């Protein structure tokens, strides 16, 4: 079956670095997405990886290893506004998005 | 502001009520989606419309009835719902669902409570 695993909740300190992991098993692969969702708000697109390696976008970076079925989202210089849920999703060979349950990130001062 | 607007933001309804959720996108996209988001569960795709034609219906119970009158508007008609249908209902749009890098633009959702 198709499956995405990510931690349910993580806690980090303001100013620090946190890495949110995601492992996926999908029928075929057409890319890996990360979305951010603040409580009561719309999920918003953060990143897309289809090739192995690290994509950096300001304080956020996303990594993909296709051979390992693994991705991570790296957040640097954490700010209180980064407290949110982070959703990992893999696109399969039929272009369907398979979603993880999300990781709730709590930032403490 | 994502360009996708959903109303109402909150809805409480009894099991015998009929209500409708509305979604409007101002992005000129061709595809629109309904998702169900329950606490601590993955997003569940319910329906997909591409150029106003329904292309996906993921075994959703008939008490949920979608309607897409044009590429900018999407409705979800609700009737005789069950308490387990209580969830956040998200609408999304995209330009072309057949492209791998295609990203979704979501609305803020309707938080539905069925009593």
- pLDDT tens profile A79-106: 999 999 999 999 998 888 999 999 999 9
Query: What number is the average pLDDT over the span A71-83?
Result: 98
CA distance A4 to chain B (A): 9
Least confident residue range of A48-57, A97-106, B99-108: B99-108
Q: Does B106 touch chain A (CB under 8 A)?
A: yes
**pLDDT at position B54:** 80
Q: How far apart are CA B110 and CA B88, in angstroms?
A: 6
- What are φ and ψ of residue B83, in 5° steps? -55, -30
**CB distance A31–B43 less than 8 Å?**
no
Beta bridge partners of residue A55, listed in sequence order: A62
Across all residues in chain B, what is the average pLDDT?
92
**pLDDT at position A49:** 96
Q: To probe the interface with B, which of A42, A85, A97 has the most B CB atoms within 10 Å? A: A42
Of A95, A53, A87, nearest to A70 by C-alpha is A53
Nearest by CB to B97, from A33, A41, A95: name it: A95
Q: Which residue has the higher pLDDT, A54 or B1?
A: A54
C-beta separation of B22 from B110 below 8 A: no
**pLDDT at position B99:** 77
Q: How far apart are CA B99 and CA B94, in angstroms?
A: 10
Task: Report the half-sphere exposure of B50 (CA within 13 A, side-chain side).
Answer: 8
CA distance B3 to chain A (A): 11
3-state secondary structure of B47: strand
> Residue B91 above 90 pLDDT?
yes
> Residue A1 above 80 pLDDT?
no
A101: DSSP letter: -
**pLDDT at position B97:** 79
> Residue B56 above 90 pLDDT?
no
Q: What is the pLDDT of residues A3-41, one digit of tens each?
A: 999 999 999 999 999 999 999 998 889 999 999 999 989
CA distance B79 to chain A (A): 24
Percent of chain A exceeding pLDDT 70 equals 100
């Amino acid at each position: 079956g198709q499956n995405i695993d990510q931690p349910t909740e993580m806690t980090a300190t303001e100013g620090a670095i946190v890495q949110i992991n995601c492992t996926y098993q999908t029928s075929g692969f057409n890319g890996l997405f990360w979305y951010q969702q603040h409580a009561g708000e719309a999920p918003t697109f953060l990143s897309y990886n289809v090739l192995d390696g690290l994509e950096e976008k300001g304080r956020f970076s996303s990594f993909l290893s296709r051979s390992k079925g693994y991705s991570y989202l790296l957040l640097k210089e954490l700010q209180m506004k980064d407290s949110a849920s982070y959703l990992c999703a893999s696109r399969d060979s039929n272009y369907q998005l398979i979603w993880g349950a999300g990781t709730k990130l709590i930032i403490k001062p | 502001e994502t360009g996708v607007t959903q109303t109402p933001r909150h809805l409480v309804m009894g099991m015998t009520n009929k209500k409708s959720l509305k979604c409007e996108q101002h992005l000129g996209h061709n595809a629109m989606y309904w998702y169900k988001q329950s606490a601590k569960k993955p997003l569940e795709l319910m329906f997909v419309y591409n150029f106003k034609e329904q292309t996906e219906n993921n075994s959703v119970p008939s008490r949920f009835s979608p309607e897409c009158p044009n590429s900018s508007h999407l409705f979800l008609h609700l009737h005789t719902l069950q308490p387990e249908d209580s969830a956040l209902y998200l609408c999304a749009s995209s330009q072309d669902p057949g492209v791998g890098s295609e990203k979704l633009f979501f609305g803020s959702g309707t938080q539905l409570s069925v009593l």
